[in-house]
Every structure is written in structure tokens, then in C-alpha cells.
Structure 1
Amino acid sequence: MSYIQDKVVIITGASSGIGKATAIHLAKNGASVVLASIDEDGLKNVVERINQEGGKAHYKLVDVTVNEEVQSLVDFTLDKFGRVDTLINCAGMMLFSMWDNAHVDEWETMIDLNVKGVLYGVAAVLPHMKKQGSGQIINVGSIAGHAIGEGHGVYSSTKYAVRAITESLRKEISVKHNIQAVLVSPGVIATKWQDKVTDKDVKAVLEGLNEVAIDVDYVAETIGFVVNHPANVMINDVIVTPTNQKW
């Protein structure tokens, strides 16, 4: 039995990477997906592909660091489908840097996107899921939220925060309101994230990571596995990494 079929799913960061792959995977399995990102061309391409393949997809241009825009995303979804079954907080940024180089602007960007973006998503869907008496909040974390390495400091801090947010939701919301709160933590994924790193001193830390990186489709399938559960069964934490990743 498929529990993905006919679910209404919001996915942030859905114009590329894990979010894009997850949107395509869930739509192929019968979900109606609403995609959000700041990249409108990317969103259009994903929605066009899904609809051409017989799926149901809409998109909305959204900056998840702006609370009002995330609220409008949920309102848009409710207007289209009348409910929100699943929120996948996938929007995020990974910018490794050394403490000595004090990339403060990048720190602030990651905090706003990786932490505040998740919080705004939770705040926007929670009242509706409580009213429904069910729902799924799936937060995409990182292996860096479980282990800290050189150059990972601030990024790891944001993902530890996502881990804490998810665990707190379980303790406070899941047990009272039947709303699943799940953390999916990928390891090194082939999304070209290293190309966005500006700190030259951290390049040595990145050497070899592309050699072990796994395709985003494996993470999308893992998220699909999480979504495909009835309301009374919750997968708590999932870590999906390359077999030969060392950290």
C-alpha cells in the first residue's frame, strides 16, 4: 500500500539538488507537490518535467528566510489543494570555512537559511496540521549535524540546530497532535556544493569528497521511504551516506 499517493507535499529548495530529486520522486509515486525556491527558472523546469510525466506540480517563488513568504507558500498550497500533508524543509546552504578567516556574511546566510528557514516552515504549517490531526514535517539535516570536522564549524552548528528543532517537535508536538517530525541527514552528495565554497584555506578539507559522493536520487528515495508511512508510524532519524565516507 502506498501512503505517498494523493499526499499534498510542500518542498523548499526544490529547484535543484535534493529538493528537485525528491519532488520528482514523490510526484512519480502519486503525490501532489508544491515546490518553492528563489530560482524561478529552475522551478519551472522541474514543474514542467513532472507535469509532462503525468504528475501534479505547482511552484511558488519563495525566499524561506522571509517569514511572510513562507506563510504565503502555505496559503498558496491550501488554495490549490485544501490541505498540507507533508512539509519537507530542504532549502539550505553549506559553506565551509576556517574560523581564522571570519566569513561572517556567510555565517549569517547559513543561519538565516538553514535555521530560520526551517523555523518559518514549521510555524506556517503547524496550525493546519494540528487542525487536520495529522501531518509530516521532514527536516533535511546533515551528517555534519552529528559529527564536526575541520572547517565545518558554523555549518555544523546550523545542522545541530535543525536536529534539536526536530527532536523538540517530537517531544512537544508529535505525541500530542499525531504530527510526525523526522530528521533526514545526508552525507556527501553530488550536488556541486563545493563550487560555492569561497574560503581557499578550506579547499584541502574538500579534496576527495567528490570521489565518494553519492547521487541525490538516493537521498530522494530515502525521503520517499519516510513519507510512505501511515500516520501512526514515525521514522525518527535517518542518516544516508556514501559507504566509504570517513566522517
Structure 2
Amino acid sequence: MTTATTSHDGAVLITGASSGIGEATARHLASLGYPVFLGARRADRLTAIVDEIREAGGRADSRQLDVTDIDSVRAFVGAAREVNGTIEVLVNNAGVMPLSTVSALRIDEWNQMIDVNLRGTLHGIAAVLPLMEAQGRGHIINVASVSGLRVDPTAAVYSATKFAVRALSEGLRQESTVVRVTIISPGFTVSELTEQGGDADTQAAVREATAQLGLPASAVAEAIAYAVSQPSSVDVNEIIVRPTLQR
């Protein structure tokens, strides 16, 4: 990461920031001069990333976060306000993807996807929206997926949560005249999403496909930075970013 040369006011909050897209976004935005506030369950990993960002000249802080717990999310937002004063951007990135067929009836994993992917996004919105409305500005970025645009076998429940995130985002965009709302829908992206849960054969196949053609997480981070960097009168509603070889 290069040393930041531009100063920005107000914090950028990033959930799921201990790896993958969240980590890449934190590093990239910090390199552009944004003060970033990282949240995830793995506090030790967050601390290491924050230290590296600071060593490179960026501004970063963190707090352990469980997006399925509204009190945890509110405490995360409160800590960011204490450090930075104002909150300009929330990147709702935390997500899980244990893929399997519906007939496998992996109900605990269905509930996990609903809790993290959808309820976690709602919790983030609930925690920052009143603050952003009160200050008359703000930007909420919800990380969805190309699986929110199409449905494939083994991804029915995951797709359902991402379709819901897109619907939620569009409804919020129409309701608010002061808060910008952006949907980021990545295709195959190198991350840890397929490393926990799901059907073993399915997850292995997705890992193999991702290894062959997946985007680096930094590509998605750059898309997020593009949306964030637009003037306040410009609301980038959705960015779909796929590997060139993905169909």
C-alpha cells in the first residue's frame, strides 16, 4: 500500500474487514487518504491489518464485530464515532456462502446466510442511517453478488439473500434524499467464502473455478473506491464486476 496523500473527513466503516473484499477495501481506501474503521469477528486479524495500514501512513482503527447482533453493530458504530467524529460511509461487506442443494436441508446454514448476509446488512443500515440523515449526508454500500442477479443450482439460498440485499438497497435509495446507496455485485472473487460449511464437493468446485478465473479482491475494492469518490450529487447505484472469462 502506498502512503496516503489526500485527506478525507469522516470515517469509512467496513464490516467483514478481516479478509477478502473487506480487507482489500480497507487497505485501498486508506491508501487514498480515507480514515477506515474495520470490523469483523477475528479481532487479532483486524489488529494486524490496522497496524500495517498505519505503518504505510494510513489512518485505521478497528473493533470486534458480530453483524448478527444489533448491539454489537451499534457499539461498532459508536466506537467509530468516538474515534473519527463523523461517519461518511458504511461498507456492508460481511457475508457467508455455504453452498448446497436445497434438498440437502442444511437448515442451520440457511439461517446463517439469512442472519449474516441479510440481517447483518439491515443491522448496519439501522445503526448508521439515523446519523447520516441527521447530518444530511452519507453513503451506504451494500456488497451483494452476481448471485443476486441469477440463480444457480446449489446457490438458491445464498442467491435469495443477495436478491434481498439488492431489493433492500434499491428501496432505501428511493426513500432517502440525502443518503447515497450503492450495490456492489462481484462475480468470482478470491476470498475465504468457500472455506467454511456447505457441501464439500460444491465448495471445492467453486474454489477451483475461482482459482482459475477469479478477480483479486483489490478489483472490487477499486470499484467501491470509485463509487465513494464521486461528488455528493452523484449516486452510483450499482456496479457489477466480473472476471472477463466468467459467463
The TM-score, its normalising length taken from structure 1, stands at 0.94
Q: Distance in 2 between matches of 1:193 and 1:204?
A: 11
Aligned residue number for residue 182 of structure 1: 182
Letter of the structure 1 residue corresponding to residue 185 of structure 2: S
CA deviation string 1:31-60 (max 9, x = no partner): 111100000111011100110011111100
Q: Distance in 2 between matches of 1:37 and 1:51?
A: 18
1:145 aligns with 2:148: yes
Aligned residue number for residue 82 of structure 1: 85
Aligned counterparts, 1:152-191, within 5 A:
152-173=155-176, 175=177, 178-191=178-191
1:136 aligns with 2:139: yes
Q: Distance in 2 between matches of 1:150 and 1:7?
A: 42
Measure how far apart 1:195 and its partner are. Answer: 2.6
* Structure 1 residues without counterparts, runs of 5 or longer: none
1:17 aligns with 2:6: no
Q: Distance in 2 between matches of 1:231 and 1:92?
A: 28
Letter of the structure 1 residue corresponding to residue 195 of structure 2: D
Contact 1:36 1:43 in 2 (8 A): yes
Match among 36, 41, 48 for residue 38 of structure 1: 41
Aligned counterparts, 1:1-247, within 5 A:
5-173=8-176, 175=177, 178-200=178-200, 202-203=202-203, 206=206, 208-246=209-247
Sequence identity (%): 40
Q: 1:93 to 1:4 in 2, by over 3 A?
A: farther
Q: Distance in 2 between matches of 1:44 and 1:94?
A: 25
* Structure 2 residues without counterparts, runs of 5 or longer: none
Contact 2:190 2:210 in 1 (8 A): no
Give the secondary-structure state (helix, strand or coil) at the position aligned to 2:87: coil
Measure how far apart 1:100 and its partner are. Answer: 1.4
Runs of 4 or more consecutive aligned structure 1 residues displaced over 3 Å after TM superposition:
none
How many residue pairs get aligned? The number is: 242
Measure how far apart 1:7 and its partner are. Answer: 3.7
Contact 1:150 1:205 in 2 (8 A): no
The TM-score, its normalising length taken from structure 2, stands at 0.94
Q: Distance in 1 between matches of 2:225 and 2:31?
A: 11
Q: Distance in 2 between matches of 1:31 and 1:152?
A: 35
Give the secondary-structure state (helix, strand or coil) at the position aligned to 1:110: helix
Contact 2:12 2:88 in 1 (8 A): yes
Q: Distance in 1 between matches of 2:40 and 2:233?
A: 31
Q: Distance in 1 between matches of 2:121 and 2:204?
A: 30
RMSD of equivalent CA atoms: 1.6
Contact 1:3 1:228 in 2 (8 A): no
Q: Distance in 1 between matches of 2:162 and 2:133?
A: 26
